[in-house]
Structure 1
């Protein structure tokens, strides 16, 4: 089922408050120190392929690979339930932030769901899921529970990250696009400019893409309004008029190319938020596959090109790799003077997914949204882990320029100095 990591590797950076929850998840119903499938293979994947999914990431030309991803099978110990996530780090320590979120988010989400169900006098994490019937009907209360749990997990995790002494994330962060498949229901949570696209067949059997998420860019109207109301600034430089960035009120930095992200605490008072948009859709028998990918893919390939590439792959297990390789060729062709961005892709093939009920695929679709306001990073070809986005101008950079104060004083040292001065 692909390359998997041990318990120690997967959760080395997760905060201690989720220890009981993640140990419960890892132990699983069958015992042992990892989730295991029928053949004793771990059910937490970081790369590789399985019977229903293909995963691949490739380092760009900006230093350490800051993209990462994961698939959790039988999520929250619920058979047939799948969690997937793709995370795109940026800034000097973006790779550390992305890995932290990758490891901590699933356990955080399970913990919140478990706590919510207990407060509803239920000891079974799957109890509320039983209201999703085979016709695709659903309880609005249960959908809201999932959406609110996703939002709380993201926001709480951002606060956890703020207090991580091992990661300086004043000007480093990560995007996140993640999904949970609950029977025929798909819950999608997005933060930043990674993207989820669903491939389905229309009335003529033609494969068409349905974009399930909205890219959180600073020039999107609702995002720009929030940034302005918080005294932040959003504009594009003359050198790259098509890339709007988020800037501090009185300094042309850091130039973050997204409006929502984990971390980046220098901007959290000026319009950047860690509140995801959460969407719900009901899968139908016309749906073929789902693609989660970082912006290294979407910056150079359209939704249609992505669908065509994946659908034309002879072996589903090679789909993610083929898509990344096509994106790299597009970077070289379309942006020959720019640094190729890191790329990470998960392809999920709907009809091959495990299910507690094979008849639970709906024949209709609903789509709603909640708009609440070896380790892959080590694949560096011998390069030193350092942030190289400041080595000259490059369209591919998510962060363009670090604030002046960071060149001589780290965030936490600066915070301690302020406290000392106040005393």
Structure 2
């Protein structure tokens, strides 16, 4: 889960039927007009209160029509990982997947809040873009390509740009909502996010933090290979470190874990965040930690078989290739996510016997849309009631957000360093980001307690009445 540490005790279109060419934006509007005749997301729910009754939305251990998900609590306290698969998201052929890894005292609450709210924001922004396209391209789609009526707000009409804008806006809105949430202290708590939308043969991805998505695909020799779809956004990436340092944040590793670069306040050795982007963590938003996602778009082929999303508890001990091998060799698809988590648990015991296992969460999305029969599913240890519950969206298992029975503990975090290849890939792919994160006034509040994991016992305390020390 990549948490924080504090050592402050030491330092204070194709074409029409008649052959006429039409623009990609016309195809986009036409797609939504066709889908209107079918069930859409807005027919099910528009608020968080309705989510429990939304069909084809799963967030607990189980399976859906084309996916399986599984999470297991580590040995560091309450499980701070959250996950979701939402089939028929917005329209019948769209699937939303996400993994959210919380950190800090309230990280589990942040992760679940993002899990529930971010998909709604993404849908809302896409529906808004759709409405604009309907207005600005009505004449275009009726065959009038010379119309002078253009919505000045809509500058780029490609589907890729629409999804990019929707991801950027929804992530920004999500972080803003966390900042103003009256009952959720995100000052030194936050969450990663790796989110994916599959629409036909298109994968649209937005992500922050060090959770990861990979693709299992067949090469020219018909052998399964692993393709990394996202980049672990950690402080050891040159561009991330440069931005943080420009904003007066500090980046360095502790002596007992030199492989883990962390982000620190300019005037105190806290909180030691092991990622460069995250939701929440507002104590660092003035110092280079941002919530602006990386965005990428991939067109799938017949060789692409499945996508795996997982929190860093999995990637800390299993390689991309190992995960692809596990998923491609399971007896039944419904057991794939659980098998990956169980394999990660064994590796934690083997590789780090003196360290407490991190929380693990896995989503396996099979791109051909097929799963096992119910009889095969039951053979893997899941009841028919679980199948019915998850498939209908009526989840029988409720999560506890009170954080009781959770005790902070001290231990080392093992975070896999990014390879040179990943760094090179990161330097080639990316979006422009704001230099120093937030621009709103920051209200500093007192802190008590300890961060989630990888923590020492004390965090810095600030008061709105006290003058903040200079860097």
Shorter-chain TM-score tier: 0.7 to 0.9
TM-score of the pair, normalised by structure 1: 0.76
Residues 1:227 and 2:244 aligned together: yes
Which residue of 1 is the match for residue 127 of structure 2? 114
Question: Per the alignment, in what secondary structure is the counterpart of residue 352 of structure 1?
Answer: coil
2:305 counterpart of 1:305: no
Of 328, 336, 340, the match for 2:357? 340
Q: Identify the match of residue 84 of structure 1 among 97, 100, 103.
A: 97
CA root-mean-square deviation:
2.9
User: Retained in 1: the 8 A contact 2:212–2:231?
Assistant: yes
Superposed CA offset, 1:62-105 (max 9, x none):
100000111111111x1111001110000100000000000000
**Residues 35 and 341 from structure 1, CA distance in 2 versus in 1: closer, same or farther, beyond 3 angstroms?**
closer
Task: Considering Cα pairs closer than 8 Å and 6+ residues apart, tell me whether 1 or 2 has the greater RCO.
Answer: 2
Instruction: Tell me the alpha carbon deviations over residues 310-358 of structure 1, each in whole angstroms, 9 at most, x when there is no partner.
Output: 111011000000000000110111111111000000001111269xxxx
**Aligned match for 2:88, one of 69, 74, 80:** 74
1:257 corresponds to 2:257: no
Does residue 328 of structure 2 align to residue 315 of structure 1? Answer: no
Aligned-residue offset at 1:375: 5.2
How far, CA to CA, are the matches of 2:252 and 2:408 in structure 1?
23
- Relative distance call for 1:34 and 1:298 in structure 2 (3 A) is closer
Q: Secondary structure at the match of 2:134?
A: coil
8 Å Cα contact 1:59/1:343 also seen in 2:
yes
Aligned to 1:166: 183
Contact persistence 1:44–1:70 (CA under 8 A): yes
SS at match of 1:344: strand
**Which residue does 1:55 correspond to in 2?**
69
CA distance change for structure 1 residues 117 and 51 in 2, over 3 Å: closer, same or farther?
closer
Correspondence 1:232-243 to 2 at 5 A: 232-243=249-260
Query: Radius of gyration: which is bigger?
Result: 2
Richer in strand (by share) = 1
Contact 1:256 1:399 (8 Å CA) reproduced: no
1:113 CA displacement? 1.0
Written as runs of structure 1 = structure 2, the 5 A alignment for 1:154-303 is: 154-303=171-320
Which structure 1 segments of 5+ residues have no match? 1-21, 129-138, 355-373
Equivalent position of 2:8 in the other structure = none
Native 8 Å contact 1:93 1:387 kept in 2? no
Query: C-alpha offsets along residues 365-411 of structure 1, whole Å, 9 cap, x if unaligned?
Result: xxxxxxxxx6575499xx9343514x3545477653576434xx7xx
Q: Is 1:384 equivalent to 2:397 in the alignment?
A: no
Aligned to 1:102: 115
For 1:3, the equivalent position in structure 2 comes to none
- Structure 1 stretch displaced more, 90-99 or 332-341: 332-341
Give me the whole-angstrom Cα distance separating, in 1, the residues matched to 2:413 and 2:165.
38
